[in-house]
Each structure stands twice: as structure tokens, then as C-alpha cells.
Structure 1
Amino acid sequence: MDRETVGSALVDTPRHLDALAEDIARHGIRTSLRLGFCEDFGTLDGNHRIAVALRLGLTTVPVTVIREPSTPRPAHARPMRAADFAVLAAAAGE
């Protein structure tokens, strides 16, 4: 994949996402997105894959839904709404 180091950060270039889009168009999403959740927050690992799926017009993507402990809270966690928690708990088989 095409990435560039800017300062101390590894940055994805447009060519990186183009290459990922080409791979997903050819082979599909081979690694499930990971959706972690608890009563307090949710996390998504797979932002590039979901962005490419939207770009390609995919209507479904593979997702693994996992209940997380409330601590430690990952830096990329987002607040959880009660209605969303109920949907995720049901998807996780709770």
C-alpha cells in the first residue's frame, strides 16, 4: 500500500485507497470490520475498508461485533447511544 511519513505520522495517500479499492473490487473484503462496543462507547476498526465499500457501492460488508470492557477506553472510541447499544447487543447474541 502507498503510504507516506509526514513528521511522525504515517499518512495514507490517495493511491493507497485506490489500490485498496481495486483489491476489494477484485476480491471483496477479506478481513471483517471489527465493531467493538460497551454501554459507554463504540469503536470501528476498518475505516478504510468501509470508505472503499461506500465508494464501490457495496450494500453489505463483513463485520465482527465484539463486546468490549469499558476500560481502557481506546482513543478512537465514540460515545454509545442506548438505542445503538441495544442493536449491537442483539447482533452480538446477548
Structure 2
Amino acid sequence: MPVHLPTELVARYRAVDRELVGSALVDTPRHLDNLTADIGTRGILTPLSLGFNEEFATLDGNHRIAVAIRLGLESVSVELFRQPLTPRPGHAKSMRAEDLALLREHWR
């Protein structure tokens, strides 16, 4: 079940900032503009996916979090899941203690 988490927290665990780094799969500037218009009208319909453990977290939803930041959304809908400690993905970001406490609270 999705939970709402602060956009700032979720953004810390993105693999890349899509405003700065494009994608080989899509025309990133146009995609972000279209997504911004859609999310601005309908909201984020597909929750972001945040895998976490005591050491790191990974985010699936780099375009959506970029748009949430563009739109100034204070929170985003996120599906949480426990990420195994190994193997650690190359794009994983180190877990902050205060973030882990909040994620554990919402995980329960």
C-alpha cells in the first residue's frame, strides 16, 4: 500500500537528477514537460518505488520525482519495500539515520 513521504526525502535516493541527466530511452526534456503537465492536472498516478535497508536505498521514479520537485509537491506517493543488503546496486544511495527511522515507521 502506498504511503506519502516528503519529496525532499525521496529525492535523496534517486539514481540521477533527470533535470541534469537525460535518458537513452526517451527525449528527456519533452518527456519531463509532458509529465509535468499530466501530473499537474491528475497527480502522480503510479507511486514511486523506494527500496531500503539499514545501509542504502534505491528509487524507481527518477522522472516523477523530478516533476514533483518542479511542481513544488511537498510529498509523493511511494511504495516501500525492503531491499536486500546484497548485492548493493551501483546506483544505491547511503541511508541517512533520520530517513531510516521515518521509513521504518511507515513500513509497519
TM-score (norm 2): 0.69
Structure 2 CA distance, aligned partners of 1:16 and 1:63?
A: 21
Structure 2 CA distance, aligned partners of 1:55 and 1:82?
A: 27
Matched, 1:92 2:101: no
Matched, 1:48 2:63: yes
The farther-off stretch of 33-42 and 73-82 is: 73-82
Pairing of 1:53-72 with structure 2 (within 5 A): 53-72=68-87
| Aligned mate of 1:36, from 28, 39, 51 | 51
Structure 2 CA distance, aligned partners of 1:53 and 1:82?
A: 24
- 1:24-64 Cα offsets, whole Å, 9 max, x none, are 11211011011110111111111211111111122221111
Larger radius of gyration: 1
Superposed structure 1 runs of 4+ greater than 6 Å apart: none
SS of alignment partner, residue 59 of structure 2: strand
If asked which structure has higher relative contact order (CA below 8 Å, sep 6+), I would say 2
Structure 2 CA distance, aligned partners of 1:12 and 1:74?
A: 25
TM-score (norm 1): 0.78
Matched, 1:27 2:42: yes
Structure 1 CA distance, aligned partners of 2:87 and 2:27?
A: 27
Structure 2 CA distance, aligned partners of 1:31 and 1:61?
A: 10
Structure 1 CA distance, aligned partners of 2:42 and 2:26?
A: 24
SS of alignment partner, residue 75 of structure 2: coil
